[in-house]
Amino acid sequence: MSTDPQSLDGLRLDRSEETSVAPRGGRWKWVLGVLLLGVVAVWWFRPRTVEVRTFVVTATDPAEKRTLLNSSGYVTARRAATVSSKITGKVIEVRFEEGQHVEEGEVLARLDDTNADTYLRLAEAQVAATKSGLAETRVRLDVALRELERVHQLEATGISTEADLDAARGEVDSLKAHLELQTEEVGVAERQQAVYARQLEDTIIRAPFTGVVTTKDAQPGEMISPVSAGGGYTRTGIGTIVDMASLEIEVDVNESYLGRVSEHQAVAASLDAYPDWRIPAHVIAIIPTADRQKSTVKVRVGFDELDPRILPEMAVRVAFLGPPPSALDGAPALFVPTRAVVHEGGQAKVWLVTEDRAVVRDVAVGEVLDGETAVLAGLTPGDRVIIEGQDQLLEGGRVRERTQ
């Protein structure tokens, strides 16, 4: 059976028209897809607004002191004493209590003075006896001198002999020697009397200086001694007195930071009991020796003005102050929080907010003091420095700031 090619050609579908239309519709879809992808890309890669925290740079007052070093120590009394007696004895009276103010020379306590008083009376009697003997000898010497004068006159007229004259002279010389001896004996007796009077006075314990009693260590009936004795049952002191006018601060400063401390340097002290109270103080002296175990040097700090709230042995924090460092142009340096400074390739930089956009700027920095860095060049007062969120910033990116 034969097939007519022309008839078969008539049965074929004509796709020429379809082929010409399909590419046109696919092209529009492709264009729309590219446009949509571009919109998504623009939206995805658009500059985002970053929220940051800022710090406003302010000018440093040239008269303002900056903290160069922080340390801690204790309030100590330069003048404090455990009061004791000069002799061993039994306490019969105590006249003070803790917290009492006492004046220099005020009687604090008394010891049993029975023996001392007895010895003193004996010494007084001995002085009186020797003085009486001295008076008798003086009378006898006066009589002997007059007798010698008469014998000398009689000897000139031949009535008295040479032997009578020698006897009268010997009596005078003997009485003079005896008078001199008794005079010395009176002096010895008076010195002995002074010793016993001193022993009697030593039974009275007085305040060595004006101050406040901080401890009371003895009671009537107890034994007290200037040295430890009696197996621990004898007290070595009746109490402790502190001169509140001599209070100061002792601070241990690490050797590595000793260069930041100097004599007469201004200090701000803060007691742990009153943390919000800044007490003006100053460096009195740097003790010229170091503690090899702790690698520290002791520094004495004095209060500019004392206050009743300051008590011995209180814990205290001190800040050693100094003038702010100078910028490169000689003016006082500006300070920003240390976290605001970033370092890239050895160059210090800070991010600033300018017209709601982030701008990076090179700066020259100095020392770090108490969590702040001194900026020597690159900033001016009023600049808003970014201190939080720098890792999300792009140069020129939009930012929304929160001040510190």
Whichever domain contains 287, its CATH number is 2.40.30.170
Is residue 17 classed exposed, middle or buried when 0-12, 13-18 and 19+ CB atoms within 10 A define those classes? exposed
Structure confidence at residue 304 (pLDDT) = 94
Asked if residue 213 and residue 95 are part of one domain, the reply reads yes
Structure confidence at residue 1 (pLDDT) = 45
In a domain, 24, yes or no: no
> Please, are residues 205 and 111 in contact by the beta-carbon 8 Å criterion?
yes
Q: Which pLDDT band, with edges at 50, 70 and 90, does 21 fall under?
A: very low
Least confident of 110-119, 259-268, 356-365: 356-365
* % of residues, the chain, pLDDT over 70: 84
Q: Which residues of 119-152 are buried (b: 16+ CB within 10 A; e: fewer)?
A: bbeebbebbeebeeebeebeebbeebeeebeebe
In degrees and rounded to multiples of 5, residue 80 shows phi and psi of: -145, 145
Asked if residue 211 and residue 93 are part of one domain, the reply reads yes
**Residue 100 maps to which CATH number?**
2.40.50.100
Count of alpha carbons within 13 angstroms of residue 321, beta-carbon side: 18
Structure confidence at residue 346 (pLDDT) = 81
Average pLDDT over residues 83-91: 91
In a domain, 101, yes or no: yes
Q: End of a domain among 269, 303, 322?
A: 322
Q: Which pLDDT band, with edges at 50, 70 and 90, does 64 fall under?
A: low
Asked if residue 210 and residue 188 are part of one domain, the reply reads no
Average pLDDT over residues 370-388: 81
Q: End of a domain among 277, 298, 322?
A: 322
> pLDDT digit string (tens) for 232-289?
567 888 999 999 999 999 999 999 999 889 999 999 999 999 999 999 999 999 999 9
Asked if residue 175 and residue 130 are part of one domain, the reply reads yes
The yes-or-no verdict on residue 197 having pLDDT over 80 is yes
- 144 lies in which domain range? 114-201
**Residue 366 maps to which CATH number?**
2.40.420.20
Asked if residue 220 and residue 364 are part of one domain, the reply reads no
Least confident of 122-136, 181-195, 388-402: 388-402
What's the chain's average pLDDT?
A: 83
Asked if residue 353 and residue 381 are part of one domain, the reply reads yes
In a domain, 21, yes or no: no
Asked if residue 207 and residue 106 are part of one domain, the reply reads yes
Cα–Cα dist 9/282, whole Å:
116
In terms of C-beta distances under 8 Å and separation of at least 24 residues, what long-range contacts does 169-175 make, across chains too?
A: 171/144, 171/147, 172/141, 172/144, 172/145, 172/148, 175/137, 175/140, 175/141, 175/144
Asked if residue 252 and residue 230 are part of one domain, the reply reads no
Structure confidence at residue 367 (pLDDT) = 78
> Please, are residues 380 and 56 in contact by the beta-carbon 8 Å criterion?
no
The yes-or-no verdict on residue 23 having pLDDT over 60 is no
In a domain, 129, yes or no: yes
> Please, are residues 208 and 104 in contact by the beta-carbon 8 Å criterion?
yes
CA dihedral 99, 103, 104, 107 (to 10 degrees): -80
Asked if residue 208 and residue 100 are part of one domain, the reply reads yes
Cα–Cα dist 254/258, whole Å:
6
Is residue 163 classed exposed, middle or buried when 0-12, 13-18 and 19+ CB atoms within 10 A define those classes? exposed
Asked if residue 334 and residue 392 are part of one domain, the reply reads yes
Q: Which residue has the higher pLDDT, 1 or 75?
A: 75
> pLDDT digit string (tens) for 318-339?
999 887 776 676 677 788 888 8
In a domain, 224, yes or no: yes
Cα–Cα dist 356/369, whole Å:
30
Q: Which residue has the higher pLDDT, 288 or 371?
A: 288
Q: Which residue has the higher pLDDT, 250 or 53?
A: 250
In a domain, 146, yes or no: yes
Q: Which pLDDT band, with edges at 50, 70 and 90, does 353 fall under?
A: confident
Average pLDDT over residues 156-169: 77
Q: Which residue has the higher pLDDT, 397 or 24?
A: 397
Q: Which pLDDT band, with edges at 50, 70 and 90, does 139 fall under?
A: confident
Structure confidence at residue 43 (pLDDT) = 52
In a domain, 38, yes or no: no
Asked if residue 97 and residue 228 are part of one domain, the reply reads yes
Report the DSSP beta bridge partners of residue 252.
298
* Domain count within the chain: 4
Single-letter amino acid code for the residue at 303 = F
Q: Which pLDDT band, with edges at 50, 70 and 90, does 50 fall under?
A: confident
Structure confidence at residue 183 (pLDDT) = 86
> Which SS3 state, helix, strand or coil, does residue 242 take?
strand
Asked if residue 229 and residue 85 are part of one domain, the reply reads yes
Structure confidence at residue 280 (pLDDT) = 94
Q: Which residue has the higher pLDDT, 250 or 14?
A: 250
In a domain, 20, yes or no: no
Is the model's pTM score more than 0.85? no
Q: End of a domain among 173, 201, 229?
A: 201
